[in-house]
Amino acid sequence: MRGAQLREGDILARRYILKQPVGAGGMSVVWRAWDSALERTVAVKVLDGPIASDGGQRDRIRREARAAARIEHPNAIGVYDYGETVTPRGRIAAYVVMQLLDGISVAARLEKGPMPWPEAVAVAATVADVLHAAHRRGVVHRDVTPENVMLTTDGVRLLDFGIAADIGQREEAMTFGTPPYVAPERLTGAPTSGATDVYALGVLLYEMLTGAPPYPATTWEELERALAAERRPALNVPGLPAAAAAVCLRCLSTDPLRRPTAAEMASILGAKSAASTMLTRRRALLSVPVIVTAAAVLTVLILQQDDPGPRPGDNAAPGPSVSILVSVVPGPPNQQATPTPTTQPRRSGTATQTGPASPPASPPAPPSPLTRQAAGKAVLDIVDRRSQTNEIRPDVALDIRNQVNNLLSDGADAAHRIEVLRRQLTDRTRDQSISDAAYEELDAAVIQFGRTFST
């Protein structure tokens, strides 16, 4: 960035220690930084340029912080702080502190080609749910693009609320946004509505499925010509459920009233994504008896090769050997099999013989230890469940999520950070921000999470 004066090791607001830049755009730079007050790794987006020539970027970064902070959703980028400070070299810099994410953007993923439809539908369903949460808060994102959707180790995240607007707000400038994803009504200055986000999400889903947006355009003039041609895009993706294809095309309607809501889109796509997951699991389960049977058949064939055949003196005519194969499909984990008693054949004139006692069954193997990702997700699931029942205050829940996600993306000094988190849980329970029952469950899960860093 031209005129930038920040360097590695600089400290902003006597708190955020800049480590290294991880991205840049326009007049801002995103830094990996260390929050010395809460002892966690964060992302700090800094506007470090001349105030007189920032082109309204200071207002944009402030709006981004405020808009994102209004949305309570686990798949929206977490915003921690906003402020303006004097840099070590005397320049005023505006900054927003956010959750540091580990992953790639959908744009980077699409460089390899279209996504499999179940993956594309699952991503779109998650983004639709975030947009639904935003619209309920009166916020319209206005910049849903592949660059602003991240595929992280903790799931899909929607980023960059820099040009977000309130529902009903008039467009300040026609050039806001990225042309292929801008709804037609925005070109005419219509009031902002949730339908503009739904249009952009429809374009994003179409691109994830096919590899290209329905109306490729790099300029506003090209977009206007493409829309004026009234060419209805087609969506022919093998295996894609008809309902998912239909809702995607409805999103691309030029009439905002004919588009589905974000909530409706999340419901339809979420159902299709869940059905795909269940089908995959069912196929995996059905494959188990086939494998067992195949192995058993091989064993029978080997045993038949060792059969010495009829012995001298046998009166029975030789015939085809018959093998009875019994396949046992394994039961659910930890389910004990019912022992089957065995008897010896009864011989004439002799008492019934019984075989030696079977050795006692081996004790079940101890459960596999949780992976770091699974343990972290267990903590996040508790936070989500307990916050929905108001047992964890929303701002406290957000802070816990952020700390867990930061640990998942950067495990440096994990033992100390886990202890800090546990002390905060105790403090928040004392001030009644966390219920006693929620604390007991949450603290146990955090302890288990902490153990995964020492294995």
At the fourth CATH level, the homologous superfamily of domain 11-98 is Phosphorylase Kinase; domain 1 (3.30.200.20)
Candidate from 37-51, 103-117, 303-317, 374-388 with smallest mean pLDDT:
303-317
pTM of the complete model: 0.59
26-49 confidence digits (pLDDT tens)? 668 899 999 999 999 999 999 866
- Taking residues 153-170, report their average pLDDT: 86
Q: Which residue has the higher pLDDT, 286 or 253?
A: 253
Residue from 10, 143, 399, 443 carrying the catalytic annotation: 143
* Equal CATH topology for 11-98 and 103-276: no
With a cut of 60, say whether residue 346 has pLDDT above it.
no
Q: Domain boundaries in the chain? A: 11-98, 103-276, 372-451
The 3-class SS string of the chain reads: CCCCCCCCCCEECCCEEEEEEEEEECCEEEEEEEECCCCEEEEEEEECCCHHHCCCHHHHHHHHHHHHHCCCCCCECCEEEEEEEECCCCCEEEEEEECCCCEEEHHHHHCCCCCCHHHHHHHHHHHHHHHHHHHHCCEECCCCCHHHEEEECCEEEECCCCCCEECCCCCCCCCCCCHHHCCHHHHHCCCCCHHHHHHHHHHHHHHHHHCCCCCCCCCHHHHHHHHHCCCCCCCCCCCCCHHHHHHHHHHCCCCHHHCCCHHHHHHHHHHHHHHHHHHHHHHHHHHHHHHHHHHHHHHHHHHHHCCCCCCCCCCCCCCCCCCCCCCCCCCCCCCCCCCCCCCCCCCCCCCCCCCCCCCCCCCCCCCCCCCHHHHHHHHHHHHHHHHHCCCECHHHHHHHHHHHHHHHHCCCCHHHHHHHHHHHHHHHHHCCCECHHHHHHHHHHHHHHHHCCCC
164-191 confidence digits (pLDDT tens)? 888 888 766 544 678 889 988 888 878 8
Q: Which residue has the higher pLDDT, 23 or 211?
A: 211
188-227 confidence digits (pLDDT tens)? 878 889 999 999 999 999 999 999 999 877 777 777 787 7
Position 26 scores a pLDDT of 61
Decide if 154 is catalytic.
no
Q: Which CATH class is domain 103-276?
A: mainly alpha
**Residue in the block written with tokens 């007991």:** 440
Position 357 scores a pLDDT of 47
Cβ-Cβ contacts under 8 Å for 196 (sequence gap 6 or more): 140, 142, 182, 183, 185, 186, 256
